[in-house]
Structure formats: C-alpha cells, structure tokens
Structure 1
Amino acid sequence: MPIDAAKALAAQPRTGEISWGAKDVLLYHLGIGAGVPATDPRELRYTLESRLHVLPSFATVAGAGSPGVIGGLSMPGVEVDLARVLHGGQSLTLHRPLPVEGTATSTGRIAAVYDKGKAAVLVMRTEVADADGPLWTNDAQIYVRGEGGWGGDRGPSTRREPPAGEPDLVVERPLREDQALLYRLSGDWNPLHADPGFAERAGFERPILHGLCTYGITLKAVVDTLLDGDVTRVRAYATRFAGVVYPGETLRIRMWRGRGGEGGGGGEVAAAEVRVAVSALERDDAPVLADTVVGHR
C-alpha cells in the first residue's frame, strides 16, 4: 500500500532551521494580491519595508515553506502520485505575532492518517519556535485520492453548521491571470498550479490557484475590514478547501462577526471569531473555502 499509516505515524519528526526576511514577506503579500491601489496607505503596510506588518498566513510559506503538502508526501510510509493529491484543509495557531525577519526551528511530522474510503487524509503538523519560544503551529490536511479503504479511522468531521443570518460584510477580490505564477515563488512549486499538461492529467481544465493563496487572500480581507487592519489581533485561522479557484476569477468573501454565541452550536458565531465563506463569482458562487474561522482578540 503506498501509504503505510503505522510507519508514517511512527516516523521521527523532521527538524530544521528556517529563516526569512522582509523580501520574503513582501513577495508573499504581492502573491496574495496586496498593493492595489499601490499608493494606498493601508496597502503600504504590506508592500513597503519601512511600514511592514506580517499577515499571519505568511507562516504557511516562511522559510520557503514549512513541510506542508509537498513535505508531507516525502515522509516515511508515504509514496503517492502527486497528481492524486489535493490540499484538503489548513489550520494555523499563532503563539505570537510574526516578526518581519527571523530564524527559527521547524519540526514537522505526520500527526494523523485517516481513511475516508475513497481517499486517505494525512495531517501534516509543523511546529515552529525561535529563541524566545513557540511562534506558530500549522496543520495541513492532505487529501490523497484513491488511497483509502484499508479500514482505518475515518477521523473527526471538520464540517460546521453554517452561520445564521445574512453576512455582516461581503467583499469581492479579483484575481490576476498570473496569480498562481506569482504566488508559487514563495515556495510551492507543485506543477498543478503552472503546467497545463499536468493539470489536465490531474483532472482540471487548466492550472488551478493554490489553496493557500486563496487562504491568504481571505485572511487579508478579514483583517483589512473587520479587524481594523491589525494583523496582531489574529490568534488562529482554519479552513476547509471546498473547491478549486482558477486564476483570473473573482472571489466573493462573506463574513459574519462574532455575536456572543458559543460557536458551532446552531450556527452561532463565537464573540472572538469571524466566520467566513468564499465562492467563485463567475461560476455561480461555487464554494471555494468552507468552515472557515478566524479567531481573534
């Protein structure tokens, strides 16, 4: 079997040093669409080194990528065809605001392997700390088509009841035709996002946008609108990738503010979170991100 769950879970964590600087942060921000309009003071927080704030989703690419999707596929016990792989979901916990530049230790391991019947799901956990302590924890859910059915644990459901009522805010974010080509320079070189032939072999009409690019665009929209532009207010961010995005499309981002509920029950939204749903405008609002939550202070 290409995925040996026992071997993957028992493998020693991979630890290495990562580092990043202002240039990496600027490139990431441009890759998720920052800088429009170019002279807007609110955008200069993302594009000018003298004013630079770090959007927390930068953690998914810091140091040219924590192990994430591609790294998880090179772990012991995992041998799969990259064309069968999709990024199923992502969660991020921030322990401190991200510095503009830094050096840290990244430790990655397979935290769970789930059998979904027609597919397997690998949870690749990456913990990052510097000399001052923990910085962030990333969980990437890696969906591998055709690799389930061995009778393993199905794992927990990540689906939540949709938030009740009309959204508090709806924004639209147009994507560049070359959005994926720009975003991949931050470290995700999967040819699915650039090579038409590879994309066709994987079952897509053309290269698709990285899920983590949509993830970053969405967080930026929430921070810029409902969190007063303050990146340090973000404490956690999680999503399920519900559908593909093609470069050149327009994202419709719906947001629900916290209303003092307990969160998750009856569709209520907890006071310290924003619930989000993202769709592709040109494809009749086809779902793109679901079960999306930004935890904040």
Structure 2
Amino acid sequence: MPIDVSAALSAAPTVSEVSWTERDVILYHLGLGAGVDSLDPAELGWVYEKGLRVLPTFAMVAGRGVSAGAPSRVGMNMPGIDIDLRKVLHGGQSLTLHAPIPASGAAMISSRVANVWDKGKAAVIVFEQSATDADGKPLWTSAMQIWARGEGGFGGDAGPEAPGAVPERDPDKVLVSPTSTQQALVYRLSGDMNPLHADPAFAKLAGFDRPILHGLASYGVVCKAVVDGVLGGDPVRVQSFSVRFAGSLYPGESIETAVWRSGDALTLLATCPERDGQPVLTHATMEVR
C-alpha cells in the first residue's frame, strides 16, 4: 500500500536547524513585488534593512524551509509515504504565528505528518512544521496540505470541511496587487527552484502556456496586500492565515483580493481580474490581532 497511515502518523518528527539574514528577508519581499515604488516609505520598510519589517509568510522560506521542497521530502523520505510525485499537488497552506519573526535569526524546525485524510479519489497528507527559537519558545506552526491523486479510498477519515463561502454582502475592501513578468524568477531564489516557474518548455509539458507563479508567492502577495491595505502595515497583527490553492497565475497578471471583516476575523477571496475573476486562493481566512 503506497500510504501506511499508521506508520506515517507514528513516525518520530525530523528536526533541523535553520537560519536566515536580513538579506534573505529582503529577497523574499522583492519576490512578492515589494519596493516597486522605492521612494514610498511604506514600501521601503519591506526592502531596506533599516527598520526592516518581516511578513509572517516569510516562515514558508526561512532557512530554505517549506518552499524549498517539503513535498519532495514527504514523497521520498517520510516513513509510511511512498507515492508518485507526479500525482502530488500543493492543495492548501496554513500558518499560525506564536511570536514576531525576527529580521535575522535561527530556529529549530520539527517536521512530521500530522494527518492523512481519505478524500476517495485522493489522499490528503498534512505535513506540519513547528519552529522554535534558541530558547525553545515557539515562533510559528505551518501545515501544508498535499493532495495525492489516486491514493484515496483506504477507508480513512475524510478530515474537516473548511469553510468556503464568502459573506453574502459586498466586501469591506478590495485590494489589487499587480505582479511583474519576472516575479517568479525572483521569488524562486528564496528556495523553490522548480523549473515550472522558469522554463517555458517545461511549463508547456506540464500543460501551461508559460511558466506560472508559485502558489506560495500568491500566498505571500495576498498577505502583504492585507497587511498594507487593512492592518496599517503592521505584520505583527497577523495571527494566522489559511488558504486553499484554487488556480494558477501567470507572472504579469494581477491578484484582486476581496476582504470581509468580522471583528478579528477576515474572510478573503483572491482572483485574477485578467481572466474574468478566476479564483487563485479560496477558503481563505486570516485571524488578526
């Protein structure tokens, strides 16, 4: 059986040490399109080491972490998981912040398979990473949902249903984030070197007209848009951010993010206006402080 659920869930976590510098943070922000107006003090705060702010989604690439190839590690090195990587899709991502991420620092990352859900035609492997600082204090916890097509039907738990509906009213705010044609080429330098995001011939073999933007780049772009447009530019106010990846985006297209607010809870929907509002991120929620 390709997935031995018991073995996957009972395996001891793998632990690794990672570190990052202000330069890594700045490069990540540039990969999200920050700093286009270099004279704007708000934008400069994302790309200049003096008073550098850190988006919480930097956790996805800190020390070349999740964005650097966690799906491959799951497919090849995780006990109980033996699946064809061509069947694997990054279906969803969540992130919970326990403390502000410093502009430079180090962390111990504990990685494990937290759940395996049976969706019938697919299995969903929930790959969790928890980060702590040098004193053992929690920094963040992330959970990547990996959809493995053709691996379901083993009689397991289907998992929780994520809330998908947006409120039946106009959004409180609509934020538009342009992307540049070279954005994927910059973002990939933060760790995800998959040729799907750079090589036109490879992208065509995968069924795309041209290279696409990384899903985690869209995740970061939307987070930045909300921090800038709703949270007064303060990334520390983000407590958690969860999404499902619903569609691809070509570099040079825009992401339009509709925001509904209810107290400290935000419901988000990210679409591509150049393609008649095709969804990019759905089932998206953010808890804020």
TM-score in terms of structure 1 length:
0.91
Q: Which runs of 5+ in 1 are unaligned?
A: 259-270
- 2:93 corresponds, among 90, 93, 117, to 90
Give yes or no for contact 1:175–1:249 (8 Å, CA) kept in 2.
Answer: yes
Distance in 2 (CA, whole Å) between partners of 1:273 and 1:218 is 16
- 1:275 corresponds, among 267, 270, 278, to 267
Distance in 1 (CA, whole Å) between partners of 2:16 and 2:114 is 18
What residue is the counterpart of 1:172 in the other structure? 176
What residue is the counterpart of 1:42 in the other structure? 42
CA RMSD across the alignment: 1.6
Q: Which runs of 5+ in 2 are unaligned?
A: none
What residue is the counterpart of 2:71 in the other structure? 69
What residue is the counterpart of 2:251 in the other structure? 247
Mapping 1:123-138, distance limit 5 Å = 123-132=126-135, 133-138=137-142
Question: Bigger shift: 71-80 or 109-118?
Answer: 71-80
Describe the superposition over 1:209-235 as per-residue Cα deviations: whole angstroms up to 9, x where unpaired: 111100000010000011011111111
What residue is the counterpart of 1:122 in the other structure? 125
How far residue 10 of structure 1 moved from its aligned partner, in angstroms, is 2.1
| Pair 1:248–1:56, CA change in 2 (3 A) | same
How far residue 114 of structure 1 moved from its aligned partner, in angstroms, is 1.2
Q: Determine helix, strand or coil for the equivalent of 1:42.
A: helix
How far residue 249 of structure 1 moved from its aligned partner, in angstroms, is 1.3
What residue is the counterpart of 1:262 in the other structure? none
Residue type matched to 1:16 in 2? Answer: S
What residue is the counterpart of 1:161 in the other structure? 165
Residue type matched to 1:47 in 2? Answer: V
Q: Determine helix, strand or coil for the equivalent of 2:50.
A: helix
How far residue 293 of structure 1 moved from its aligned partner, in angstroms, is 1.2
How far residue 186 of structure 1 moved from its aligned partner, in angstroms, is 0.7
Distance in 1 (CA, whole Å) between partners of 2:269 and 2:56 is 19
Q: Identity of aligned pairs, percent?
A: 52
Distance in 2 (CA, whole Å) between partners of 1:81 and 1:208 is 22
| Pair 1:159–1:257, CA change in 2 (3 A) | closer
What residue is the counterpart of 1:80 in the other structure? 83
TM-score in terms of structure 2 length:
0.93
How many correspondences in the alignment? 285
